[in-house]
Structure 1
Amino acid sequence: VPIIGLACWALDFPLMKRYSKSYLAKHPEKKGQDLIQTKLACQKFKTRNISVVNFVEGTRFRYEKHQRCDGQYNHLLKPRAGGVAMVLNVLEDTLDGVLDVTISYPDKKNSNFWGFLSGRVKEIDVHIKKIPLSEIPYQNYYDSEEGKAVFQKWLNALWSEKDRLLQNLEAKKKGED
């Protein structure tokens, strides 16, 4: 969502800069810098009332990107776990939980946020679910490979649930047409 990203930047939210594998091969000193910057940014939020917005797919959905994925999800890109785990670890004592937001644009022709803002999208479906921190296995993400695997499995299961929700919403819309 481009406008929200700009607003997050203006409000000094931590923004992760991702580097490609080829870039990191040429510049190995950049490896892990995104997580270090996120951790430093999150530290200052411990003393403020805040909301953290995390786009777990890490990028805007484009069909070309989706085609390059392994086909695990029909409507989503693969989730990236590192930033989420970092925020949860650093801010765990200040967070109530996680709001999982799923947005569906039933009109596939204009299916983007700009189409919504410009009035071409007449309807969107928004589903919000609060997940208590006690249900999220993030505590050992950076301490062990097993902890990382457990968190990634949990996040992938959440993404599968979101993908099914989007599939059901699409089927429902087709049934109404």
Structure 2
Amino acid sequence: MKPLIGITSLFCLLVNMIFWSSLLFLFALLRLIIPSRGWKKLWTSATVLLGEACIACNSSWIKILHRPSIIITGMENLKKDHWYIATSNHQSWGDIFVLQKITNKKVPLLRFFMKDVLKWIPIVSIVGWSLDMPFLKRYSKEQVEKNPSLRGKDLEQMKKAFKRLETNPGTVLSFAEGTRFTQLKHDDQQSPFKNLLRPKAGGIGIALSTMPFITTLLDFSISYESKTKSFWDFLCGRMSVISIKVRVIEIPQNLLGKDYSKEKGFRDDLKDWLYEIWEAKEEFLNSA
């Protein structure tokens, strides 16, 4: 029965994404053809509405096929017209659908940090481009050492991406761990947390530097009852018992109005702050 649910879920997902990505692409083209700031705000609002409709449709088939049991705390006092930066622990591609489902029309549309390689997936590329999601190409220390001209390029990419989000309220979400949790990655990192990888401050730091009007962080902690968390497990409905804790955290004043690429003190303070958030997240995951 579960494999049949998985196949049906995949079919619903593909049909839904193809339909809405086609409409998003048309509106995004209009935004390019008529590039004035006033019109851009209108087209951006239209693409956001389409994005929310797409999420609502995904949430519908998830509700029908998976019958999820989601216990959420901390969703009070969220604002639709407020700017947020958000972060979450990351265990599965299913996290994206869960986060979209619980936040849709409660906060501004989530914009995820997307890995540059995802540009080559047509539907993902169209949706990401239409909704101004930042595609980021990160360079390793080894790559930078071999080619010093790459130094700082990933930061410049982030700055350009965030500049496109200035016209309308938004929620920029960074999976601060940088990748999905696995025990192998955890052991390689020698992470001090049992259920989490070490948080990386880069994405959040550049977002704060580029968009100083963001003063609030949304911290999502997701716990699945299921021990297996592949995307196929999600599609099959095996990850439907979920506990989520949401924390609305005011960003400390010493982390606002700083330049992440130039101020080492800011980078250190931000890293320490994220580790404090991760300690609270770990406590929830241990008790969930």
Quote how far apart the aligned CAs of 1:138 are. Answer: 4.6
Q: Over residues 50-76 of structure 1, what are the superposed CA-to-partner deviations in whole Å (9 max), with x where a residue is unaligned? A: 221111111111221111112311111
Q: How does 1:25-174 map to 2 (within 5 A)?
A: 25-93=145-213, 95=214, 97-108=216-227, 110-134=228-252, 137-140=255-258, 142=260, 143-169=262-288
Match of 1:64, SS state, is helix
1:23 and 2:147 correspond: no
Q: Give me the CA root mean square deviation.
A: 2.3
Match of 1:164, SS state, is helix
Aligned residue identity for 1:111: K
Matches of 2:209 and 2:242, distance apart in 1: 33
Match of 1:128, SS state, is strand
State the TM-score, normalizing by the size of structure 2. Answer: 0.52
Quote how far apart the aligned CAs of 1:119 are. Answer: 0.7
Quote how far apart the aligned CAs of 1:112 are. Answer: 4.2
Aligned residue identity for 2:189: C
Quote how far apart the aligned CAs of 1:10 are. Answer: 5.5
Matches of 1:105 and 1:146, distance apart in 2: 36
Determine if contact 2:199/2:274 at 8 Å carries over to the other structure.
Answer: yes
Which structure's residues are more often strand, by fraction? 2
Aligned residue identity for 1:130: V
Distance change in 2, residues 1:136/1:51 (3 Å): farther
Instruction: State how many pairs are aligned.
Output: 167
Percent identity at matched positions? Answer: 33
User: Larger Cα Rg: Structure 1 or Structure 2?
Assistant: 2
Quote how far apart the aligned CAs of 1:17 are. Answer: 1.7
Aligned residue identity for 1:53: L
Distance change in 2, residues 1:136/1:13 (3 Å): farther
Matches of 2:240 and 2:279, distance apart in 1: 27
Quote how far apart the aligned CAs of 1:131 are. Answer: 1.1
Quote how far apart the aligned CAs of 1:21 are. Answer: 2.1
Distance change in 2, residues 1:59/1:116 (3 Å): same
State the TM-score, normalizing by the size of structure 1. Answer: 0.81
Distance change in 2, residues 1:104/1:51 (3 Å): same
> Unaligned 5+ residue runs, structure 1?
170-177
> Unaligned 5+ residue runs, structure 2?
1-91, 97-113, 115-123
Match of 2:241, SS state, is coil
Matches of 1:50 and 1:138, distance apart in 2: 18
Matches of 2:263 and 2:200, distance apart in 1: 17
Match of 1:100, SS state, is strand
